[in-house]
Structure 1
Amino acid sequence: MTKELRRLSIVMLAMFLALFVSTSVIQVGQAANLANTPGNRRALYDSYEIQRGSIIVSGTPIAQSVPSDDVYSWQREYVDAAMWAPVTGYMNPVLDAKTRIESTENSVLSGSDENQFFSRIDRALTGQVPRGSNVELSLDADVQRAAWDALGDQQGAVVAIEPSTGRILAMVSKPSFDTNTLAAHDPDAVNAAYDQLAADPTQPLTNRAIEGNLNPPGSTFKLVVASAALASGRYTPDSTFPNPASYTLPQSSSVVSNAGGGACGGGDTVTLATALRLSCNIPFAELAVELGDDAIREEAEKYGFNSAFTMPLTSTPSTYPSTLDAPQTALSGFGQGQVRATPLQMAMVSAGIANGGVVMNPRMIDRVIEPNLSVGQEGSNSEYGRALESNIAAQMVTMMTANVQDGAASNARIDGVQVAGKTGTAENDARPYTLWFTGFAPADDPKVAVAVVVENGGGQGQNGSGNEIAAPIAKKVMEAVLGK
Structure 2
Amino acid sequence: MNHPLRRVATVVLVMFLALMVSTTWIQFFRAETLDNDPRNVRTIYREYDNYRGPIVVAGDAVASSAPVDDPFGFQRSYTDGPLYAPVTGYFSVVNGTSEIESAENDYLSGEASSLWLDRLTGLVTGEQPQGASVELTIDPAAQQAAWDALGDQRGAVVAIEPATGRVLALVSKPSYDPNTLASHDSGEASAAFQELSNADGDPMSNRAIRGKTYPPGSTFKLVTSAAALESGDYTPETVIPAPDTIPYPQSSQSMQNFGGISCSPSGEMTLADALRISCNTAFADLGVTLGDDALRDQAEDFGFDDDGLTIPMRVTASHFPTNDTEESDEGGTLRAGIGQGAVRATPLQMAMVSAAIANDGVQMAPYTVETVRNPDLDVVRKTDPRRLRTSVSSSTAEDLTQMMLGVVQNGSGTSAQMPGVQVAGKTGTAENVPGEAPHAWFTSFAPADDPQVAVAVIVENGGSSGSEATGGAVAAPIAKAVMEAVLNG
Q: Work out whether the TM-score is over 0.5.
A: yes
Moved more, 339-348 or 257-266: 257-266
Q: Give the structure 2 partner of residue 77 of structure 1.
A: 77
What SS does structure 2 have at the residue aligned with 1:450?
A: strand
**Counterpart in 2 of 1:461?**
466
**What is the 5 A alignment of 1:20-419?**
45-93=45-93, 95=94, 97-308=96-307, 309-323=309-323, 324-419=328-423
Query: Counterpart amino acid of 1:412?
Result: A
Moved more, 74-83 or 249-258: 249-258
Number of equivalences:
454
- Cα distance change, pair 70–303 in 1 and its aligned pair in 2 (3 A): same
Unaligned runs of 5+ in 1: 1-30
Match of 1:11 in 2: none
Normalising to structure 1: TM-score of the pair? 0.90
In 2: Cα distance, 1:39 partner to 1:242 partner? 56
Alignment partner of 1:440 is 2:439 = no
Alpha-carbon distance change, 143 to 263 in structure 1, aligned in 2, over 3 angstroms: same
8 Å contact from structure 1 (residues 220, 346) kept in 2: yes
Report if the CA contact (8 A) 1:360-1:381 is conserved. yes
Contact residue 216 and residue 341 of structure 1 kept, 8 A:
yes
Partner secondary structure for residue 211 of structure 2: coil
Alignment deviations for residues 145-200 of structure 1 (CA, whole Å, 9 cap, x no partner): 01101100110000000001111000000000111000001111111111111112
Deviations 1:56-96 (A, max 9, x none): 00110000001122111000000000011111111112x26
Name the CA distance, whole Å, in 2 between partners of 1:403 and 1:57: 34
Alignment-mate amino acid for residue 370 of structure 1: N
CA–CA distance in structure 2, aligned partners of residues 43 and 254 of structure 1: 58
Query: Deviation at 1:462?
Result: 1.8
1:266 deviates by 3.7
- What is the SS of the residue equivalent to 1:432? coil
Q: Given that residues 143 and 481 in structure 1 are in contact (C-alpha distance below 8 angstroms), is that contact kept between their aligned partners in structure 2?
A: yes
Match of 1:479 in 2: 484
CA distance in 2, matches of 1:134, 1:223: 39
Give the Å deviation of 1:236. 1.0
Q: CA deviation at 1:38?
A: 10
Q: 1:246 Cα shift?
A: 1.4
- Assess if the C-alpha contact under 8 Å between 2:53 and 2:108 holds in 1: yes
Given the superposition, is the C-alpha separation of residues 113 and 473 from structure 1 closer, same or farther in structure 2, using an over 3 Å criterion? Answer: same
1:261 shift after superposition: 1.6
Letter in 1 for 2:62: I
Q: 1:451 aligns with which of 452, 456, 463?
A: 456
RMSD between aligned residues:
1.9
Instruction: After TM superposition, give the deviation of residue 356 of structure 1 in Å.
Output: 0.2
1:460 CA drift (Å): 2.8
Q: Is the 8 A contact 2:39 2:95 kept in 1?
A: no
Q: Mean Cα displacement is larger for which, 115-124 or 247-256?
A: 247-256
Where 2:431 maps in the other structure, the secondary structure is: strand
Deviations 1:90-125 (A, max 9, x none): 1112x2611111111111000011111112112322
Counterpart CA distance in 2 for 1:237 and 1:34 is: 54
Offset from partner CA, 1:1-34 (integer Å, 9 cap, x none): xxxxxxxxxxxxxxxxxxxxxxxxxxxxxx9899
Aligned CA distance change for structure 1 residues 41 and 348 (closer, same or farther; 3 Å):
closer
Q: Distance in 1 between matches of 2:257 and 2:461?
A: 21
Q: Aligned partners of 2:448 and 2:191: how far apart in 1?
A: 49
Q: Does the aligned pair in 1 maintain the 2:248–2:331 contact within 8 Å? A: yes
Distance in 1 of aligned mates of 2:426 and 2:249: 27
Structure 2 residues not aligned, in runs of 5+: 1-30
Task: Return the TM-score normalized by structure 2.
Answer: 0.90
What is the deviation of 1:330? 0.5
Give the partner amino acid of 2:162: P
Aligned-residue sequence identity (percent) comes to 51
Q: Which moved more, 1:369-378 or 1:263-272?
A: 263-272
Residues 40 and 96 in structure 2, CA contact (< 8 A), matched pair in contact too: no
- Could you tell me how far 1:265 is from its partner in structure 2? 3.4
Separation (CA, whole Å) in 2 of partners of 1:114 and 1:340: 38
Identify if the C-alpha distance between structure 1 residues 99 and 252 changes in structure 2 by more than 3 Å, giving closer, same or farther. same
Question: 1:192, 1:319 → 2: CA distance?
Answer: 35
